[in-house]
Structure 1
Amino acid sequence: MWCSIIAVFAFSATILVHPSTAFTVVSTTSKSDGSNELDQLASKIEQIEHNIQTIQKVSENQNHASVKSRFPKNCKEIQTNGNTISGVYTVQPEFAPKPFLVLCNMDSHGGGWTYFMNRFNGNQDFFRRWNDYKTGFGNLNDEFWLGLDYLHFLTGYEVNELLIELEDWDSKKVYARYDAFSVGNEGEGYIMRILGNYSGTAGESLSYHGGMKFTTTDRDNDLWRDGNCAVYRSAGWWYNNCVGSHLTGKYIKEKSSADAYTVMFWNTLRGAYNIKVAKMMVKPK
């Protein structure tokens, strides 16, 4: 075997590899003498083996990328691909490490919306700590909070629109739509870093929270100097000092202004009166 290998290296040779791989190209030239020739040859063979292993890793990564691309990035892409029925689907945004399930709204305002919050019966308690809001809670077939990590993967790398649908206890249905919306990552406190122009019928009650980090009972990122808004208002939210809207507040199963601003409310919709239904959704512009 060594004889055959030496025979190969009796000629000038170059091993070419994919330009994206970060390893050395081996080039050899024959020698007529020298006691270290076999040592040099062994070293070059070792480098070749290393290059082969690197190529294999690149191939594995490319295969992984092709598997990853099998999933649509969001509900808008699902709709574009021809699925127009609202329901639960699997998505994987470009920078998400793994796929996850989402609820898609294919009917409202052109469809293609990905829910990140759905409330309509009070089955879920939203008085929760940071990790719950980070990873999500509830049931996609019932009430839920998708999770701030997932919301960041959906909105953090491309600007989305935000749609909020509300219904009060007099069965009045309204909506608020913002033409740009983006949430940062955990290191940024899941800051609402972009909130665009409002349109709709609900009235504008979210801009007070634009630019704010998310606050929970165990992670105080608000601007209220006298305490923690999440403790005082009984839920996590993008508090300022403290609220202009509060869609994660207490769910009261009747028309009431009890508990004032701890309830689920939208300030321009009957002030502090609690809301019956609140849905928050995003889709790429």
Structure 2
Amino acid sequence: MLKQISILVLIFVFSLCTFAQTEKYNAPIKWERYKVADKDVSVLFPKLPILIQSLNVCIEQETNKYAAYAEGVVYGLNIIYKSKQDVPDFCREKRKFDENSFEAGIKEVKSFLKTEQETKFNLNNREVVKVKGERFTYWLINDFKSKRWFEIWVTNEDKENQTVKNFMESFKLEKNSVGIEIGDGSNRTLGDAPLTDKLEEEKNTVKPEKDETEPLMIILKPAPRYTDVARETQTQGAVRVRITFLASGGIGSIEVINPLPYGLTEQAVAAAKKIVFIPPKKNKLN
């Protein structure tokens, strides 16, 4: 069986151009409750999040990742659940989705955050495992009775404040969840719509003698899907695109440099639109 071999090669171009800060790339920050009705879960988000879906058939595991950017912070919700697909014969390592899968998920998060520390507490009568790293904080909530678990996470938590606290504690798991249905989510990562008051405040801010800049940080980068026609024709190669990363935190224009046929170019562009990142920070300010 031919595996996914289409490669998305990204050429990063960070733009501070005013003309690029248009409505289609940005959205106002408006904290509202969003829901995933078929998973009975809801959480607050600052705008419609993107959705990245993945499948690991060898361990019977599917993952939905939701994420939205606002004011230098990325807010995320992961839903990990048992796949309905049968484990194929080509898998070298096979693992059932069972009560040990949640523990494996905790270990994976700890490995990602490079920490072994964890704390436990209760949220709405459910046990939460909190794992905190230098840049990320994860809350993991087991619901194995329904063959799934949830991960609520936030990045760049040097901005830990009441907004972050409200987001983390907004998680609700209940039948007939209330909120705006996320569905397929936003088709691109949305930046922050500029606010006049904030721009005036930054204009009047006293600048330090020496500028210190933190580099752009990629948080999520979805893999482009391999189309059925490309698989049937055994099409291989690389789709090269140039992406404009906006200072607002949104993905701007995308220019195709090296296309491929059979829908692979379109899949690469769709994946590029959903890259989630933290813009460069000058003097710890976005």
Same fold per TM (> 0.5)? no
Give the TM-score, by structure 2 length. 0.22
Greater relative contact order (CA < 8 Å, ≥ 6 in sequence): 2
Q: Give the structure with the larger helix fraction.
A: 1
Q: Give the structure with the larger strand fraction.
A: 2
Larger radius of gyration: 1
